[in-house]
Amino acid sequence: MLIGLVGKPSSGKSTFFKAATLAEVEIASYPFTTIKPNHGVGYAKIDCIEREFGVKCQPNHGFCIKGNRFVPVELMDVAGLVPGASEGKGLGNHFLDDLRQADVFIHIVDASGTTDEEGKPAMNHDPSKDILFLENELNRWFYNIMAKAWKSFVRKTEQDEENFAEAVAKQFSGLKVNEGHVKKVLSMLRLPEKPSNWNEDQLFWFASELRTESKPTIIAANKVDLEKAYANYQFLKMRFPGLIIIPCSADSELALREAAKKGLTDYIPGERGFEITGEVNDEQREALSDIKEAVLDKFKEGTGVQEILNYAVFNFLNYIAVFPVDNANKLTDSKGRILPDCFFLPPGSTALDFAYHLHTDFGNNFIRAIDARTKKILGKNYELKHRDVLEIVTK
């Protein structure tokens, strides 16, 4: 699963990325700070099962704080996009190709209105313009990729009488488009039956809808700690009722996570409160108190960063988290560690899919799975549930 961060320059993509991953990346107030993409690991937050089972987990990847388990998800931060990027303006949109394999996008919007569409300082910039142009550039990027291959692809598909949805999914699998996406878009658009009869506009609609379907996009209304952002956030929600828009202050989340890492507070990502637990100077105390007042007390989503990541994983992608163990009674792996791993799988995955996810040999030699909660034996077709704990028994 790959989550891609997109947006205009200076909207706060790298700040969001750093807050989520704590990786060292460059952040600055001038446009095009990021040129080469940043890859990193962020975390979706779930209720750990350790309490239910009365044990203390020992995560191999990610971490667990007070029953909150943070499960790794891959994140990518790219260069900013400006209007006309698909025709080569700014840095163009070549770097978007790095995001072909993204399953979901987080569009970081500067909701404070203090930067223009190119990321330069401005006053009262209307952030709804950024949503419109960015969606358009993303769609053009998809369209350009599809248009290049389209004529010969359609000719061949029609000649060989191939199943169209299946053929599109195969041809554009590099964009992580699947048959389900194509079928949904076709039923929505009611385009002429023969794709060779589609005109350019019709192909553009098709490409745009396919982009929206295969890379659903959450809007992070960022910089809500700044003055005008709250009003702009409310306006965006009214202007785009069909979009998921979540208020966010990436900068606050970064400060909170860094303070917690230093042991200055007991902040848990995604929570709305914290206690000061270390030696802080007056300046630090004031900064923390400002964040509490301007962001945490004001928004039910807290700083929004964790809420947005969770929304992407669970609401958009409907992923389920599953814990593998080697011993269903002790909840340990072969080295005796308690609940060391937790993995995300797409909805509808089975016990056999899970076995293959763990290791090809597990899949090939699958005999049965054991549910650690009920100790029931499960067959290969058992459909996984969120927070299942399974032992896979192999030949």
Ligand X SMILES: Nc1nc2c(ncn2[C@@H]2O[C@H](COP(=O)(O)OP(=O)(O)OP(=O)(O)O)[C@@H](O)[C@H]2O)c(=O)[nH]1
Where do contacts with Mg ion occur on this chain (CB under 5 A)?
Answer: 13-14, 33-34
The SS3 assignment for 164 reads helix
Which of residues 15 and 265 has its CB atom nearest to Mg ion in the complex? 15
Nearest to 380 by CA among 372, 391, 369: 369
From the list ligand X, Mg ion, none, pick the one residue 257 interacts with, judged by a Cβ distance below 5 to 8 Å according to partner type.
none
* Residue 349 tokens, joined: 């995955």
Indicate the SS3 state at residue 321.
strand
Q: Give the whole-angstrom CA distance, residue 45 versus residue 70.
A: 5
Structure token pair of residue 62? 């990610």
- Quick check: 309 binds ligand X (CB under 6 A)? no
The DSSP symbol for 44 reads E
Binding partner of 86, given Mg ion, ligand X, none, CB within 5-8 angstroms per partner class:
none
Select the binding partner of residue 251 from Mg ion, ligand X, none (C-beta < 5 to 8 A, by kind): ligand X
Number of residues that bind ligand X (CB under 6 A): 25
Query: CB of residue 313 vs ligand X: minimum separation in angstroms?
Result: 21
At 194, the amino acid letter reads K
Instruction: Tell me if 372 sits within 8 A of 390, measured CB to CB.
Output: yes
CA terminus-to-terminus distance, the chain? 30
Phi, psi at 393, each rounded to 5°: -100, 130
The correct pick among 3, 4, 14, 167 for binding ligand X (CB under 6 A) is 14
**For residues 33 and 58, which CB has a smaller minimum distance to ligand X in the complex?**
33
| Of the residues 3, 10, 321, 328, which one makes contact with ligand X according to CB under 6 A | 10
Rg (CA), the chain: 23
Q: Is the dihedral of CA 29, 30, 31, 34 positive or negative?
A: negative
Among 7, 40, 62, 324, binds ligand X (CB under 6 A): 7
The binder of 223, among Mg ion, ligand X, none, by C-beta within 5 to 8 A per type, is: ligand X
Q: Residue 34 or 139: which CB sits closer to ligand X? A: 34
User: Minimal CA–CA distance to 112: which of 15, 255, 182?
Assistant: 15
Query: Measured from the CB atom, is 145 or 255 closer to ligand X?
Result: 255
| Secondary structure element (H or E) that encloses residue 109, with its range | strand 104-110
Binding of residue 304 to ligand X (CB under 6 A)? no
| Distance in Å, CB of 91 to ligand X, minimum | 9
Residue with the two structure tokens 């230093």: 262
Q: Is 40 or 324 the residue whose CB approaches ligand X more closely?
A: 40
Q: Is 324 in the site for ligand X (CB under 6 A)?
A: no
Using the rule CB under 6 A, which residue among 226, 243, 338, 352 binds ligand X?
Answer: 226
Q: Is 223 in the site for ligand X (CB under 6 A)?
A: yes
- Looking at residues 31 to 70 of the shown chain, list those that interact with ligand X (rule: CB under 6 A): 31-34
Give the position of tokens 């553009």: 204
Give the range of 24-32, 231-239, 256-264, 319-327 binding ligand X by CB under 6 A: 24-32
Helices (H) and strands (E) in the chain, counts: 12, 12
Cβ 28 to Mg ion shortest distance, Å: 8
Of 84, 70, 142, 132, give the one whose Cα is nearest residue 107.
Answer: 132
Question: Which of residues 9 and 59 has its CB atom nearest to ligand X in the complex?
Answer: 9
For residue 204, the SS3 value is helix
Residues that bind ligand X (CB under 6 A): 7, 9-15, 27-29, 31-34, 79-80, 119, 222-223, 225-226, 249-251
